[in-house]
Chain A
Amino acid sequence: MRDLVTGVVLLALIATFWVQRDYRAAYGGVLPDTVMVLLAVMGLTLAVRGFLARRSVAEETEAGLPWRALLRAVGLLAAWALTLPYLGYLAGGIVFFTLMSLLMRTERLTWRGAVLDLAVACAVVGAFYLLFTQVLYVRLPQLGG
């Protein structure tokens, strides 16, 4: 089943690339076209294999994680990245570091725990921020964009 889905997604992806073909340079299309064709063939094979084997027990290459946990993880990261231009590295980092630590706690949340997480967040994010901006002169996103 997974193979089937992957194969189909792959073919869809290739389609989005294929419609954008617009080569002007000499030999400009040789590699991309070859790769797309190869990948399409492989994707099709994968899909067919997946279709034919759909009744049999799915071979789990990795124990699946519960959907909610995955959503939590991906959601946190996505939110962090999306708010980065607005919150900046320092503020955004503190907020999400704390949030992530809080949400990863397995035992019951206590005030002490929350404050500890916040403190660690401030310390760690603050240290990194200073290191990168003051010592290494690396530009980082600022609050307010």
Chain B
Amino acid sequence: MTPIRTLRMVAPIAATGLVLAGCGSAGESAADYPEQRIDYVLPFDPGGESDITARLQQEPLQEELGQSVSISYQPGAGGALGWSELTRTEPDGYTVMGCNLPHIILQPLLRDDAGYETDQLKPVYYFQSTPNALLVPNDSEIETLEDFVAEAEANPGALSVGGSGDFSANHIGTLAFADAAGIDVTYTPFSGTGTAVPALLGGHVDALMSYSPQIVQLEDDVRAIAVMTEERMPGLDDVPTFVEQDYDLVDGAYRGVCVPEDTPDEVVDRLAEVFATVNEDPELVESFEEQAFVLENYDPEESIELTDERAGEYEDLLTRLELMP
């Protein structure tokens, strides 16, 4: 081929390439953040509790940030795939990922290689929690927590307690409760709340350690015999807490967002501000309360404290139960 012909062949392809390269994002200075679209990634399948929350936040976020926020999903390994991918993402603040406690504590703790370490995820804000709630079918013979404990003592290991996921809040909550009450129950993990609930309703498990929104969602079909909050939840006055029944258990799943570890502090603070404001959005607040989500407000520093505190407790519990690898 003559050089000119070669050029004519190659030129269009090269030109396209150059144009596209030029369109790539240049480095942004933190002071002008945000200057383009933000990716709000959820490390779970669409349709879950994290998804609903993210959707509720999307519009207020867009208003506050002045940029569009696009929600996408990276499910797998109970969230680990997403979190591990986050550690390899540009720490420019344009990717925020949903973060869940205790998952991000327990996964690196208990798996040989979760693909990430807890402190590689820099928390921006924890805005919501769903406390654990112990549920039984409404036609169950078990009417109170005492009944439950008695039943468990009479038949060690026979009571099956379902929950969402392995080494999730439900799971560790069950372990903590069993430890505190000195009983032996069998935790049965389900792929999510969506599959655990029919198991309870169909009588295939004896009880469910689930999250508070399920109390509201399932209403008369279940009986909530205890919830892991400091005080009784608003709107759920007749659900006793573990605390008032002499079990010092306050725990659940915390939902927030985090960014890669090296994200500049100014960006993190700006994001935290925004999420804090969004958390005051009246529609959001109302929706949360209606569904028995608990509004939380942990800013970046407080989030780290929360994480460390929970991590300490879990490590103690797991060591006591000889479940640490």
Contacts and interface: CB of A to CB of B under 8 A. Distances in A.
Q: Do chains A and B touch in the complex (CB under 8 A)?
A: yes
B151 interface: no
Contacts of B16: 90-91, 94, 122
Interface string A69-90: 0000000000000000001101
Interface residues of A, number: 18
B57 interface: no
A111 B4 CA distance: 13
B273 interface: no
Given A114-B9, A143-B24, A144-B24, A137 B70 contact: yes
Nearest to A139: B72
Interface in B1-47: 5, 9, 12-13, 16-17, 20-21, 24, 39
A57 interface: no
Contacts of A39: none
Nearest to A89: B20
A75 to B, nearest CB: 19
Interface string A128-143: 0000000001010011
A25 interface: yes
Contacts, number: 31
Nearest to B12: A118
Nearest to A87: B17
Interface in A101-145: 111, 114, 118, 122, 137, 139, 142-144
Given A118-B12, A139-B39, A91 B20 contact: yes
Tell me whether chain B's interface is mostly helix, strand or loop, or mixed: helix
A10 interface: no
27 contacts: A24-B325, A25-B166, A87-B17, A88-B20, A90-B16, A90-B20, A91-B13, A91-B16, A91-B20, A94-B13, A98-B13, A111-B5, A114-B9, A118-B12, A118-B13, A122-B12, A122-B16, A139-B39, A139-B72, A142-B20, A142-B24, A143-B17, A143-B20, A143-B21, A143-B24, A144-B21, A144-B24
Given A95-B13, A144-B24, 11 more contacts: A24-B325, A90-B16, A91-B16, A91-B17, A91-B20, A111-B5, A118-B12, A122-B16, A139-B39, A143-B20, A144-B21
- Listed from nearest, the 6 A-B pairs whose CB atoms lie closest are A143-B20, A91-B17, A143-B21, A137-B70, A144-B24, A91-B20
